[in-house]
Amino acid sequence: MSDESRQYRTAAVIPAAGRGVRLGPGAPKALRALNGTPMLIHAVRAMAASRAVSLVVVVAPPDGAPEVKRLLDTYALPERTDYLVVPGGGTRQESVRLGLDALPEDIGIVLVHDAARPLVPVETVDAVVQAVRDGAPAVVPALPLADTVKEIEPAAQGEPEPVVFTPERARLRAVQTPQGFDRDTLMRAHDTVAVAGEGATDDAGMVEQLGEPVVVVPGHEEAFKVTRPLDLVLAEAVLARRRANDGF
């Protein structure tokens, strides 16, 4: 394989090992159904929909890799794409790292996509890949905020929280996935940046800590993260709208 084709060969790593406690009791979040199909399968299809993506690596719950493998065998997926399943870790950051460790040598561009964002349109995936191909070491899709955001000082349970700062809303963006990276840059970030506590929730933030530039491309309202019960209602409404539009 030429250096140029390695440079552009793209894999998507999908961390899907979270429990999803904010969604309420039940199966791990990625395995919950949206219109009868597990959220993870929607997310895998969203990545494989991009012709740029030649491999999808799913990071399963630590004890759930066989079940996830069975799931990928059960649902129809594009044949031009390869699929791998690896067991995940205790934090999202560890899960992403385990996914990166499974990448074959010939991959030059890596997307990291939350299983919890099952409905990201292919246009967004392609825009992220293109920006990395154009030379950005790290790319995040993001949207302007509807709400004003305030930084607060955490207070004791039940006490009012004092506001310490109000950033200018027009300069803020809500970050989505897939985030796209030059593979070597992302590996360097995972090798050198230590994040305390729950670990990094955002891979691009680790690249920022390396001092490398991170750029934003337009996100999409359908790339929202399914976190709370109401998000499931919205996701099913989006799928119903797509089906209705496909009918015309």
Smallest distance, ligand C5P to C-beta of residue 19, A: 7
For residue 34, what is the enclosing H or E element?
strand 33-34
Q: Does the footprint of ligand C5P cover residue 190 (CB under 6 A)? A: no
Smallest distance, ligand C5P to C-beta of residue 46, A: 13
Smallest distance, ligand C5P to C-beta of residue 54, A: 21
Residue 58, token pair as written in the block: 């799913």
Q: Does the footprint of ligand C5P cover residue 92 (CB under 6 A)? A: yes
Question: Among the candidate windows 44-52, 108-116, 129-137, 155-163, which touches ligand C5P by CB under 6 A?
Answer: 108-116
**CA proximity to 176, closest of 201, 206, 150, 209:** 201
Question: CA-CA distance, 131 to 153, in Å (whole number)?
Answer: 37
- Name the residue nearer to ligand C5P (CB basis): 81 or 93: 93
Smallest distance, ligand C5P to C-beta of residue 246, A: 26
Distances (CA, A) of 125 to 18, 23, 139, 219, 236: 22, 26, 11, 9, 21
Considering only 10, 54, 81, 95, the residue that binds ligand C5P (CB under 6 A) is 95
Q: Does the footprint of ligand C5P cover residue 203 (CB under 6 A)? A: no
Question: CA-CA distance, 136 to 159, in Å (whole number)?
Answer: 44
As a residue count, the chain comes to 248
Site for ligand C5P in 44-73 (CB under 6 A): 59
- Name the residue nearer to ligand C5P (CB basis): 16 or 131: 16
Q: Does the footprint of ligand C5P cover residue 201 (CB under 6 A)? A: yes
- Total residues interacting with ligand C5P, rule: CB under 6 A: 19
Contact 150, 172 (CB under 8 A): no
- Say if residue 66 is exposed, middle or buried (CB neighbours under 10 Å; 0-12, 13-18, 19+): exposed
Contact 144, 173 (CB under 8 A): yes
Q: Does the footprint of ligand C5P cover residue 176 (CB under 6 A)? A: no
* Binding-site ranges for ligand C5P (CB under 6 A): 15-18, 29-30, 59, 88-92, 95, 114-116, 201, 225, 227
